[in-house]
Amino acid sequence: MHSRFALISLLSTLGLASPAANMKMKPRDLLPRLPDPGVVITQCASPGMLALAYDDGPYQYTSALVDILDAAGAKATFFFTGTLYGCIYNQASAVQKAYQSGHQIASHTWTHPQNFGSMSGDQITQEMQQLEQALANIIGVKPAYMRPPYLATGGSVLPTLGSLGYKVITNDVDSGDWNGNSVSQSQQAFQQAGTGGNGHIPLMHETYDTTVNQLTPWLIDWAASNGLRLVTVAECLGDASGAYSETGLPGNGQNSC
Ligand SMILES: [Zn+2]
């Protein structure tokens, strides 16, 4: 008798004692799972969309890129750094223009360190918080999304970003613009990835004239002719209201390049 009571108790603990208990589904279980901080995300959570994502700005093409996207009614995501190509404060108006146009502003770290994957947790935290302070000063919000430089996700990167609340994006299509791919080679990468399945989050850089002025217009047409909506990374993950952190906005304003 003793062991039978123990079994019933165990089944009850597991929620298996009553078949009816298994029929109940919590509303949250019926919704797509929202991204967890510190967990690498490579693609959208749903089909029918494309989340254009541009690394390494702000740069001299940022403003023109926003114009191209806005003219098409497209939304995109900008993974900005603080100092990679000059100081972000010197390009504050382009950053503000991208934000005010409804594009998602996300972090690509303060200095874009080559050794991000081997940095200590404190160093990674510094990289994130310096850019947070700059974005708080320039656009008044703190990003909740980031893409690691060189897509480095080893070492202390994920635990540290998780503890800071960052949702970590890599990619599932590589335009190869950083590696000397021609525009037509980049286009082939998208065509090979195709338009079925969950939406793509590509790796692209706004620091190439060809990516901004040739590949992006082609992608806008490609998306339109295939019925894909051009949305931010957060929206393509069902997390449109989670693009920015609601708490922990840096307060003292002290920050410079
Ligand atoms: Zn980069």
Q: How far is CA 211 from the centre of its chain?
A: 19
Three-state DSSP class for residue 149: helix
Q: Which of 158, 108, 107 is nearest to 136 (CA)?
A: 107
Phi, psi of 50 (to 5 degrees): -140, 130
Ligand 1 center from residue 198 Cα (angstroms): 24
Tell me the pLDDT tens digit for each residue of 130-154: 999 999 999 999 999 999 999 999 9
Q: What is the pLDDT of residues 67-88, one digit of tens each?
A: 999 999 999 999 999 999 999 9
pLDDT for the residue numbered 51 = 98
H helices present in the chain, as ranges: 2-13, 19-23, 27-30, 62-71, 92-100, 121-138, 157-164, 183-193, 209-210, 216-225, 233-236
DSSP state of 137: H
Predicted TM-score (pTM) of this structure: 0.88
Domains delineated in the chain: 1-31 (no CATH), 37-245 (3.20.20.370)
CA 83 to chain centre: 19
Ligand 1: distance of its center to the CA of 112 in Å?
A: 6
Does the structure show a pLDDT above 50 at 155? yes
pLDDT tens digits, 9-23: 444 444 444 444 445
Q: Are strands 202-205 and 53-55 parallel, antiparallel or unpaired?
A: parallel
**Per-residue pLDDT at 33:** 79
* Chain segment 228-241, per-residue pLDDT in tens: 999 999 999 999 99
CA of 253 to the centre of ligand 1 (A): 25
Mean residue pLDDT across the chain: 90
pLDDT number for residue 25 = 55
Mean pLDDT of 175-198: 98
Among 31-40, 113-122, 198-207, the least confident range = 31-40
The set of catalytic residues is: 55, 205
Ligand 1 centroid distance, CA of 105 (Å): 14
User: Coil, helix or strand for 243?
Assistant: coil
Q: How far is the CA of 108 from the centre of ligand 1 (A)?
A: 7
Instruction: Please list, in sequence order, all residues whose beta carbon lies within 8 angstroms of the beta carbon of residue 218, skipping any fewer than 6 positions away.
Output: 183, 187
